[in-house]
A and B are shown apart, each in its own frame.
Chain A
Amino acid sequence: ATKRVGTPKRNIHMSNIVEEMIFDKQDVLSTPKLKSKRSLAFGKEKDIEKILLEVTPKKPVEETPKRVQRSNSKYVKDSETPKTPSQKLKMIRSGELTPSFKEREGIEHSKLSKNDLQLARERLHVSVVPLSLPCREKEFENIYTFLEGKINDKCGGCMYISGVPGTGKTATVTGVIRALQKQVQEDMLPAFDYLEINGMRLTEPRQAYVHIYRQLTGKTVAWEHAHALLEKRFMTAAPRRITTVLIVDELDILCNRRQDVVYNLLDWPAKTAACLVVVTIANTMDLPERVLMGKVTSRLGLTRLTFQPYTHKQLQEIVTGRLGGSEAFKGEAIQLVARKVAAVSGDARRALDICRRATEIADSSKGKEICVNILHVQQALSEMIASAKVQAIKRCSRLEQILLQAIAAEVTRTGVEETYFMGVYTQFESIANFVGGILVPNTGQVLRLCSKLGAERLIICEHTRNDIFQKILLNVSTDDIHYALRVTPEATQ
């Protein structure tokens, strides 16, 4: 009997990935193995099974036609039709179904309708990685010669790259890989495989094996199995083995207590048969010495490279490079951003984000000229490198302000940072009496004030059940309190 089947219920795991289901008219409802097994096991239920078989297909027949019509326009394959959720899962695991996103229905805006600022904002987005990274030529050269040498020599090795976030580590490495792949296409270099894993994308360090194996073969297997297969691949010599380049991002996440994953990843390159080159990336400069075991550090080797934070000149060059020839930014505006960011962290992402925010501010200000000037940048900077605490203290109610003053006074009186509610309450009373015109609240009310300030993180306090013995700590500096309260008009009265 040839009957159509309905859409399998969408799996929970796949909720964010919309799959294109393809159905054929000739779909046969072949009884899945599981069912036949069960029917054998429970002989008595055979009849029910039969009934079920007859009954179930009817519903789908009414449901499916829409899908069939839609998919008819596209390619139709018999083998790619999952019949049940478990079959679909199987196909996903074996890599036969590729995950795809649902496409947007509206048409994208054309580039012509955008003004200069919008174009600049698009170019300044962090995700738009330029083809050649400015100011990282030396590091590029360094990694390139290392990898080129390893691929030419056909021997394995490790490299450790470190640097604070936003200094272009991953972008440079992927850039090198792209350049090498181009060389391969032009037959200047032997071919190589390229794999990458990111420690942050793994739920558990051992999932690294699964990810590596999936990139090699497209199949998803359990980690024990993947590990055994990978070990087999790297330990045994194969005549036509090509070099494999493995990029391990966020290495510090892969370190568990046993450190077996890191050990294995770094031990394989030492095998002559493996032809594996591992490039590890992390933030900490001294991670090998601080975290890794002696034997792992020994295997990691001494080929290291540190990415220094960008200086203000480099940041300026990066932003102007992104903008191209656009006139959307004033020169001094870029310089201000670059100097402010370089003084703190030297993070390129930060600089680009502030620039983007500045274009947004300029856009909303509706100035006559479409250009980001130094005032816009200053506003963006004050938003992003903001200290909201003084503002928060200023906006507090009068009693809360007095409470903060009381805590500060208690700290200066005792000389210890940790204060008790009892002492604070005494201070509170005396300050309130001094200011005058305030009905002094009882301890219960002051405790409420305390927990409110604690929720705002202006102070750090214990649970209220400790009552008058609870410890209170200031989370702002005493200078901040004095500054905020001196400027407000009420305090001067």
Chain B
Amino acid sequence: HRSFHRNKYQNARCILNSGETKKLPGREEQLEELKQFFREHLENKSSGSLYVSGQPGTGKTACLSLLMHSPEFALSLQTVYINCTSIASIGGVYKKLSAELKLKSKGRTEHDNITAIQCYIQNSKDMLLVVLDEIDQLCSSKQSILYTIFEWPSLRNARLLLVGIANSLDLTERTLTRLNARCELKPKHIHFPPYTKQQIVEIFKSRLEEAEVLDIFPPVTIELLAAKVSAVSGDVRRALDIGRRAVEIAEQQKKAGNKKVNLQKFVMEAEGNIENLCKDILEPVQVTHVTAVVNKVYSASQSLHEDIEQSFPLQQKIMLCSLMLMLRNQRNKDITIGRLHEVYRRVCNKRNIHSLDQAEFVGLVDLVQTRGILHIIKKKEPRFGKVQLSWDEEEVTAALCDKQLIASILDDTASLNN
């Protein structure tokens, strides 16, 4: 019994990974549009270009790889998929493409590869589908590569379907303005909007049903998770990540609780009623698990509240307080490390705390920077580096005001001036 239930967590964890999938709920519209585009061009034997845009994690690559492997198009189309981040340099895309098409080019230069590809496009009998993923990597100052590639579909006798995938909505309009001059060159644009709450719920349900572990997520928790993610980014990778983390946390908590259960089991076995135990052995993911993960991810200064209590080194606290003191009371928000150091020293001296010298202090500010509270704009001399607060001023003050020492520093305007 126990191994079976343990597998449920495992199954849920496995099924919530962000690998490739066969089913894409929530993307029916876009899939249909893509299919329509392919079918049209297949029937007319004409070439065309397409630009697919959307935020990360909205399923662009998943949709296209699904279509590329679907039997409807796999037989009638010759498909090539290239991820543009995997090429050595921007110009290397031609070499990669000719290698994928198994072409024999005359020489090794870029130009030879281009002529070989163009020759192939103009002479081949089959339709060719070229998918260029992360096409924004091919941008250069003159955009010669992108222009060359997007002009291929308009070559004579070409039967080429070109699909470019990228994140930005207006890449083709912004960088390839010359394509607007000729209508047949302009790529058709399909946008993948971020997933809505309902779509994320559907994705979760379909995935969990597939592994038959729907009972691990009560509907309320899925709704909460989907609402949080869709409100911020609509990135399904994030949603799956949060779901998986929630399952992991639930499992860990259960493991911790297992010791108690074992004891209970021991007692119950002695009494002879095992059925009673098996009923409540699967603990579904609670709302608290999801909120714990979400809060950790989407809030910054909340962690400061906890840190101040626990493990924020004293000198770093004083440094941060001095900075807040200066920001609150001085009109000039242009704070250099040197000026901050002087105020910090006065604050330290007043409280009989040993103060660090400048070389150490620069290191100290750097350590606080790694927490993301500050940002230092580096200058030629470390003394003149500018310190900027990256978090909300009022939130940080509110977090700092809790402690007595810190609150007293924030009121200490006398140490600002000599």
Report the separation of the CA atoms of residues A309 and B137 in the bound assembly, to the nearest whole angstrom.
39
Chain A residues within an 8 Å CB radius of B345: 477, 479
Task: Knowing A157-B17, A264-B86, say if A385 contacts B137 (CB, 8 Å).
Answer: no
**B241, A301: Cβ atoms closer than 8 Å:** yes
* In-complex Cβ contact of B57 among A162, A298, A342 (8 A): A298
Does A332 belong to the interface (CB within 8 Å)? no
Does A413 belong to the interface (CB within 8 Å)? no
**B86, A231: Cβ atoms closer than 8 Å:** yes
Does A299 belong to the interface (CB within 8 Å)? yes
Does A420 belong to the interface (CB within 8 Å)? no
Report the separation of the CA atoms of residues A101 and B338 in the bound assembly, to the nearest whole angstrom.
47
Chain B interface SS verdict (over half): helix
Report the separation of the CA atoms of residues A364 and B204 in the bound assembly, to the nearest whole angstrom.
68
Within 8 A of A (CB), among B200-220: none
Segment from A13-21, A31-39, A123-131, A343-351 that makes contact with B: A343-351
Within 8 A of B (CB), among A193-219: none
* In-complex Cβ contact of B85 among A224, A260, A311, A343 (8 A): A260
**B241, A295: Cβ atoms closer than 8 Å:** no
Segment from B24-32, B265-273, B280-288, B353-361 that makes contact with A: B353-361
Within 8 A of B (CB), among A383-413: 385-389
How many chain A residues touch B (CB < 8 A): the figure is 57
Task: Knowing A145-B252, A162-B370, A294-B167, say if A311 contacts B315 (CB, 8 Å).
Answer: no
Determine the residue in chain A with the shortest Cβ distance to B57.
A298
Of A146, A149, A227, A263, most buried by chain B (CB within 10 Å of CB) is A149
Does A236 belong to the interface (CB within 8 Å)? no
Task: Knowing A270-B18, A310-B311, say if A345 contacts B363 (CB, 8 Å).
Answer: yes
**B167, A295: Cβ atoms closer than 8 Å:** yes
**A460, B357: Cβ atoms closer than 8 Å:** no
Does A72 belong to the interface (CB within 8 Å)? no
Report the separation of the CA atoms of residues A231 and B81 in the bound assembly, to the nearest whole angstrom.
14
CB distance from A91 to the nearest CB of B (A): 27
Does A308 belong to the interface (CB within 8 Å)? yes
Report the separation of the CA atoms of residues A477 and B20 in the bound assembly, to the nearest whole angstrom.
60
**A156, B19: Cβ atoms closer than 8 Å:** yes
CB distance from B100 to the nearest CB of A (A): 12
**B313, A346: Cβ atoms closer than 8 Å:** yes
Task: Knowing A149-B13, A308-B310, say if A389 contacts B358 (CB, 8 Å).
Answer: yes
**B356, A309: Cβ atoms closer than 8 Å:** no
Task: Knowing A284-B370, A301-B241, A475-B383, say if A272 contacts B313 (CB, 8 Å).
Answer: no
Task: Knowing A285-B370, A302-B293, A343-B315, say if A477 contacts B342 (CB, 8 Å).
Answer: yes
Does B181 belong to the interface (CB within 8 Å)? no
CB distance from A457 to the nearest CB of B (A): 9
* In-complex Cβ contact of A385 among B17, B307, B356 (8 A): B356
Chain B residues within an 8 Å CB radius of A156: 17, 19
Does B381 belong to the interface (CB within 8 Å)? yes
Q: Beta-carbon contacts of A283-310 to B below 8 Å, as 1s and 0s?
A: 1111001100011011101111000111
Report the separation of the CA atoms of residues A298 and B58 in the bound assembly, to the nearest whole angstrom.
11
Q: Beta-carbon contacts of B315-349 to A below 8 Å, as 1s and 0s?
A: 11000000000000000000000100110010000
**B20, A272: Cβ atoms closer than 8 Å:** yes
Report the separation of the CA atoms of residues A263 and B85 in the bound assembly, to the nearest whole angstrom.
8
**A302, B242: Cβ atoms closer than 8 Å:** yes
Chain B residues within an 8 Å CB radius of A342: 313-314
**B137, A298: Cβ atoms closer than 8 Å:** no
Does A323 belong to the interface (CB within 8 Å)? no
* In-complex Cβ contact of A302 among B297, B310, B371 (8 A): B297
Determine the residue in chain B with the shortest Cβ distance to A163.
B370
Does A258 belong to the interface (CB within 8 Å)? yes
Within 8 A of A (CB), among B344-385: 345, 356-358, 360, 363-364, 367, 369-372, 381, 383-384
Does B88 belong to the interface (CB within 8 Å)? yes
Report the separation of the CA atoms of residues A260 and B88 in the bound assembly, to the nearest whole angstrom.
9
Chain B residues within an 8 Å CB radius of A152: 10
Chain B residues within an 8 Å CB radius of A260: 85-86, 137
Nearest 5 A/B pairs, CB to CB: A387-B357, A286-B372, A298-B56, A295-B56, A272-B19
16 new A-B contacts, CB < 8 A, other than A260-B85, A473-B381, are A153-B13, A155-B14, A162-B370, A164-B370, A258-B137, A264-B86, A271-B19, A294-B55, A303-B245, A311-B310, A343-B315, A345-B313, A345-B363, A346-B311, A477-B342, A479-B345
Q: Which residue numbers of B lie inside 8 Å of A, CB to CB? A: 10, 13-14, 17-20, 55-57, 83, 85-86, 88, 134, 137, 167, 235, 237-238, 241-242, 244-245, 248, 252, 293, 296-297, 300, 307, 310-316, 338, 341-342, 345, 356-358, 360, 363-364, 367, 369-372, 381, 383-384
Give 15 CB contacts A-B under 8 Å: A153-B10, A153-B13, A155-B19, A156-B19, A263-B134, A283-B370, A284-B370, A302-B238, A303-B245, A311-B311, A343-B315, A345-B364, A345-B367, A385-B360, A477-B342
